[in-house]
A and B are shown apart, each in its own frame.
Chain A
Amino acid sequence: MKLIYLVIATVLLAACSLFVGVENVTFTALWNMEAEAWNIVMISRLPRMLSIIMAGISLGICGLIMQQLTQNKFVSPTTAGTMDWARLGILVSLLFFTDASPILKMCIAAAFALFGTLLFMGILQRLKQKDTIFIPLVGIMLGNVVSSIATFFALKFDLVQNMSSWLQGDFSLIMEGRYELLYISVPLLFLAFLFANMFTVAGMGEDFATNLGLPYKYVVNVGLIIVAIITSVVILTVGTIPFLGLIVPNIVSMYRGDHLKKSIWHTGVLGALFLLVCDIAGRIIIYPYEISVGLMVGVIGTGIFLYMLLRRNTYA
């Protein structure tokens, strides 16, 4: 599969995404410069489309980085608990810094996410049993504990409704002025690209990396910081999107191998494409109502994930 085909498919779907919705926007209306049509596009449809694309690329690449650094195909921001920590961070910022700006909220969430991910990595190093399935289970358990703490405090302080909005990924509330935080991920993704080679070497293990003169700890930390910030930004603007960071890197790995330099853009674009498909499907299936993208990704993702697991077994 060539990258260019993926890009073309993504661009086409992104264009479609502009014309799907309750309010009818047609191409001719845009062509004739009708103000109302343009308003809808600029205020709602375009922000939605852009945020889907950015979130898709971001989550795909985050998953890829985590899988590489932990040398485990089942680790992603969801299964390592990163997302749960980020949500706890948002809750803390709501409780203690009531008037916090989105940037401050993001910083607090990212700090929590980073702490949680480092904790996970620390546990990972101490684990005697490096079983592939066991490691993500530890992450999921840790994440659930954190998540239940967050829920407890949310209940106590009457913030459950706010909480649930980050529990489920949803693009329907995305409008101009509510998604711009996502742009923070753009420079971070370029940073990830610059580090791609180093992440690949680090993924071979600490001894291997040190032998090649790579500052292992520094590279791992850079990777985790990128993941923590991007995850927090996505949760704050869009909400939790499960599975994407898990399956997209695995699909790309099947046909591109695991050298990050070769797979990073494929993973990003496929992530965006996958999210676009899920979002558009969610908007069409029960039209004029909408199924939230978190649910759609969950359903479609589970299917793909099961298929991958079964396929892996037949080949192994």
Chain B
Amino acid sequence: MIVAEKLSKYFGSKKVIQDVSVEVQRGAITSFIGPNGAGKSTLLSMVSRLLKQDDGIVYLDGKNVHKQKSKDLAKTIAILRQSNVVQMKLSVRELVSFGRFPYSSGKLTEEDEQKISEAIAYVNLEELEDKYLNELSGGQRQRAFIAMVLAQDTDYILLDEPLNNLDMKHAVQMMKLLRKLVEDFGKTILLVIHDINFASVYSDRIVAMKDGSIVAEGPTDDIIQSDVLKSIYDLDIDVHNISCNRICVYF
């Protein structure tokens, strides 16, 4: 379980995160939603020790994140940031093998190779594994990065806008893949996501943020309500039940 206690973060004199406390349950998809600049990405960065908070503590399975060895953490928690622009000429397989770095520091064992192949197969990139990343489409590249995170084999997976640059088909594929990870392997997934309908359909819990604070939090169905969404986005949003899913209409 991830527990954040009274996290605060300043950039200069500007407070981007303000006394945020949140608990994330294991074996579920938790989506962080909210307008731009709400502090969602910053929160994820602090939870994954990429960024040091100015105040507060993050506990991962009961242990303070910033007091653990970075290398050990890399076996428990993985984060993928927003922009994965790669300047380098790396093949898909080379990228995915980075995921094994916490385990073998680059000297890949038989077991590592096995895990790499499995991860590549899981995202259906077997045929492209020797292609360079810059030869792939946006969706394929995104999947390659997901495969790397899979190879890292962590209990917790944090994804910052994983649907960026994906068309509808690939966005749906991506979310189904994440859902499958939770169901098949009991992974705990934290997402920053902008499309509330994707959040509504695929997540178990939703945390809504605004201006550096959490404004609403709970099971998906409790959050996807017209009045709650209005308070988050300042926008009139109709919520309809369509084939068992709660769909927001806000156009």
A: residues with CB less than 8 A from B are: 68, 71-73, 196-198, 200-201, 203-204, 207-208, 210-215, 253, 257-259, 261
- For B94, list chain A residues within 8 Å (CB): 257, 259
Q: Which of A210, A253, A261 has the most CB of B within 10 A?
A: A210
Do the beta carbons of B90 and A258 come within 8 Å of each other? yes
- For A207, list chain B residues within 8 Å (CB): 45, 50, 79, 81
Do the beta carbons of B105 and A197 come within 8 Å of each other? yes
Interface residues of B in 30-75 (CB under 8 A from A): 45, 48-50, 69-75
Q: Assuming the A-B contacts A71-B87, A257-B91, are A211 and B74 also in contact, with contact meaning beta carbons closer than 8 angstroms in the complex?
A: yes
Q: Which of B78, B87, B102 has the most CB of A within 10 A?
A: B87
- For A259, list chain B residues within 8 Å (CB): 90-91, 94
Do the beta carbons of B70 and A215 come within 8 Å of each other? yes
Q: B101: which of A72, A73, A213, A257 is its contact (CB, 8 Å)? A: A213
- For A197, list chain B residues within 8 Å (CB): 101, 105-107
Q: Assuming the A-B contacts A201-B98, A213-B70, A213-B72, are A261 and B50 also in contact, with contact meaning beta carbons closer than 8 angstroms in the complex?
A: no
CA distance A163 to B86 in the complex (A): 41
Q: In the complex, which residue of chain B has the Cβ closest to the Cβ of A70?
A: B87
Do the beta carbons of A204 and B72 come within 8 Å of each other? no
Do the beta carbons of A201 and B49 come within 8 Å of each other? no
Q: Assuming the A-B contacts A215-B70, A259-B94, are A210 and B106 also in contact, with contact meaning beta carbons closer than 8 angstroms in the complex?
A: no
Q: Assuming the A-B contacts A197-B106, A261-B106, are A212 and B90 also in contact, with contact meaning beta carbons closer than 8 angstroms in the complex?
A: no
Per-residue CB contact flags for chain B residues 76-100 toward chain A (1 = under 8 Å, else 0) read 0011110000111111001000110
Do the beta carbons of A257 and B152 come within 8 Å of each other? no
Do the beta carbons of A258 and B89 come within 8 Å of each other? yes
Do the beta carbons of A210 and B88 come within 8 Å of each other? no
Do the beta carbons of A201 and B101 come within 8 Å of each other? yes
A sample of 9 inter-chain contacts (CB < 8 A) reads A201-B106, A204-B86, A207-B50, A212-B98, A212-B99, A213-B73, A213-B74, A257-B89, A259-B90
CA distance A245 to B101 in the complex (A): 28
Determine how close the nearest CB of chain A comes to the CB of B90; give it in whole angstroms: 6
Q: Does B132 contact A (CB under 8 A)?
A: yes
Q: Which of A196, A200, A213, A215 has the most CB of B within 10 A?
A: A213
Q: In the complex, which residue of chain B has the Cβ closest to the Cβ of A71?
A: B87
- For A257, list chain B residues within 8 Å (CB): 88-91, 94, 132
Interface residues of B in 127-180 (CB under 8 A from A): 132, 152
- For A73, list chain B residues within 8 Å (CB): 87
Do the beta carbons of B70 and A203 come within 8 Å of each other? no
Q: In the complex, which residue of chain A has the Cβ closest to the Cβ of B70?
A: A213
- For A261, list chain B residues within 8 Å (CB): 106
Q: B71: which of A200, A208, A213 is its contact (CB, 8 Å)? A: A213
Do the beta carbons of B71 and A211 come within 8 Å of each other? no
Q: In the complex, which residue of chain B has the Cβ closest to the Cβ of A253?
A: B89
Q: In the complex, which residue of chain A has the Cβ closest to the Cβ of B107?
A: A197
Determine how close the nearest CB of chain A comes to the CB of B229; give it in whole angstroms: 31
CA distance A73 to B88 in the complex (A): 9
CA distance A197 to B78 in the complex (A): 19
- For B99, list chain A residues within 8 Å (CB): 212
CA distance A198 to B89 in the complex (A): 16
Do the beta carbons of B88 and A204 come within 8 Å of each other? yes
Interface residues of B in 5-27 (CB under 8 A from A): none
CA distance A207 to B81 in the complex (A): 8
- For B106, list chain A residues within 8 Å (CB): 196-198, 201, 261
CA distance A210 to B107 in the complex (A): 19
- For A212, list chain B residues within 8 Å (CB): 74, 98-99, 101-102, 152
Task: In the A-B complex, list the 9 residue pairs whose CB atoms are closest, starting with the nearest.
Answer: A197-B106, A213-B74, A213-B71, A258-B88, A257-B89, A258-B89, A212-B101, A213-B102, A213-B70
CA distance A215 to B70 in the complex (A): 8
Determine how close the nearest CB of chain B comes to the CB of A205; give it in whole angstroms: 8
Q: Besides A208-B81, A211-B74, A215-B70, 13 other CB < 8 A contacts? A: A68-B88, A73-B87, A197-B101, A204-B86, A207-B79, A210-B50, A211-B80, A213-B71, A213-B102, A257-B88, A257-B91, A259-B91, A259-B94
- For A208, list chain B residues within 8 Å (CB): 81
- For B102, list chain A residues within 8 Å (CB): 212-213
- For B86, list chain A residues within 8 Å (CB): 204
